[in-house]
Structure 1
Amino acid sequence: MKGKVAVLISLITTIGLVYWFILQPPEALSGTSKEPYKQQRDKTNDEVKDIRKLALNQNEREPQAVFNSEDEIGEEWCKVERNFSPQQRKNSQNEASEWDVQRGNILIPDYHSAFESHNAGLIAPYVDIEPDKLLLSAKSDDKFALITLLQRDDAAKEKKDWAAYRLMLLGNTSLALGHLVMKEVSLAKHKFAEGSIVTKEIENHMLNSLAYVSYGIARMDASALRAYVIATNPKHLSHNFSPDEALDKIDSAAINARKNDLVEFINSERAQLHLNPISDIKIPEIARKEFDISIAILYASFGSQIAESKNLMKISEHDLSRKSDCVSEFLSRLTQSS
């Protein structure tokens, strides 16, 4: 049996592939048979269940770090946690769990990580209720209903898109942004397949996807980044479509400007809902470690792809060409355990 860290790599990668096959909008499948996608989705779901059983046999999760708001720890979390007591480790797990809830990182039972099972109970009441009742709860801005709607197989594409946008407005950055990134990249690929040339519409879709990635990183959540990496993986590209070539004339300033437009839109919509600006939602210190772990896992699984992505290197919110000490340390543990 591989170590806990190796299980974590496989788990995150597999869940990412699940998203690829589940969240493809119908437009991306036009003119092609959906059966291969269904077969792959079913196969991947079985793999997730097997990995989950394996993970449940582990006695404890890879320790999380916990920070006090007055501490200026930043990127040094890996050094601080080395001397943690058992109680501190337990407290940090609770901090990480609360952060998952705050950012909307809760997967329905068929797809959730064993490490998130304690949060799955929050959406359990919505998983099997009738679609009309679920939608009614979602329309009242019940975040757990919206998160469930976004993942239900029987939910219409339009309803899922709406749920993702609504969750984003309410402050979620995990499943919501991941869905929106997948949507934009899928639409870009579909449009390119129609004419094999990069149009302004295709460029706009890809720029939108990077704006979501940049915004997610700014909120210390790598979910949108993970979705982009998976969606643009060479295995999922066809018709000679190159995301980098599609945005060859777009620079970092343009991506940042589109991200700022997104933030302005979010705040404008939040104002109409009588909600404070998104920047007023505090990002807990535990987010730094959770973010760094996600980055390390992405490097371990897609290191070459990330390094060669011109688009990702244009994102100014985070320098993906540089690894912090803690990311490097965790990445070393991942590779040694694989």
Structure 2
Amino acid sequence: MIRHRALAGATVGLLAAVLGLPGAALAGPRGTDTRLCAIHPLPLPTGVALGRAQAVDPTGRFVAGIGSRVVDGVWEQVLLLWRGGRVTAVDTALAEGVVGVNASGVVVGNAFITARPQPWRYQDGRPTDLVVPGSVSGAWVTGINGRGDIVGFGAVEATENAIVLRWPADRPGAVEVVDVLPDATATAVLDDGTILGYGRESLGASSYVGWMLRPDGRLTLLTMPGRRSAYVSAARGGWAVGGAGDDGEEGFAPVRWDLRTGATTMLDPTAGSVEGVTPDGVVLGSWAVWRDGRLTPLPSADDVSSLGSEAIADNGTVVGWTNTGRLTPARWTGC
């Protein structure tokens, strides 16, 4: 089993198992000022007992996630779509994990079909498999942009490496292999077609670097001075976020890159793993929002034992889940 199979379970939490990144955090300190930051539970359809919101489009209108219900004594998952105060459940065998949704309501995610990873797209009321190159043993999507371009990666078992994949919006049914770095993974695609991710600078290298590939073919490496490895987990507008550190030591610290100037900023590590960034440079951590150097914990009710953020819209709307003994989808505003 090659290294990238370890990433299939949660592409937003990239390298969680491999590089020791933190996962979902306990609810933040109660004493922090959160008067403008409010939580709004998202409704669940009748019969759906559990759920988590996993993606929000840049405008904040569309939210997508996964729910669970019991049918004939067996738990099964459904795709959940929220718009305004309404929620829709979609029955599909592909409902295992949502990665992203764009402003047109196109949703992408990943599933396992007959023990094989299968990326999918939900558009115009219909879920469909995304075509996968025959050279890969499995593929995963990791991002979608405003025009519908999708990116991800494929596992090449013969070489134990990964390759970058792109599903172009203007050629439905097609998939492209993008030549970037050896053993490379794409994690985000900007609206202009710029792809970002991480990979090795050379075959056999033990460390990773972040990278940005412009539509004209220009490749820029994203690193952090004084740190051996770096990875990109999300990007939006002129910003990218991820982590940097030294393999096998104290884990990876959260980092933000200014894609226009190349400047790097180390973020408050108490925010947890970085889950997203807005065009204004606001960074979403696993339980808090980092804005202009100030960390605002996501609030929750007293009976919540833990919470997790999953995505952030351009207007700062955050989606994720809370845990009161069962997972409940949630949305935060004003944070």
TM-score, scaled to structure 2 = 0.32
Specify which structure has the higher proportion of strand: 2
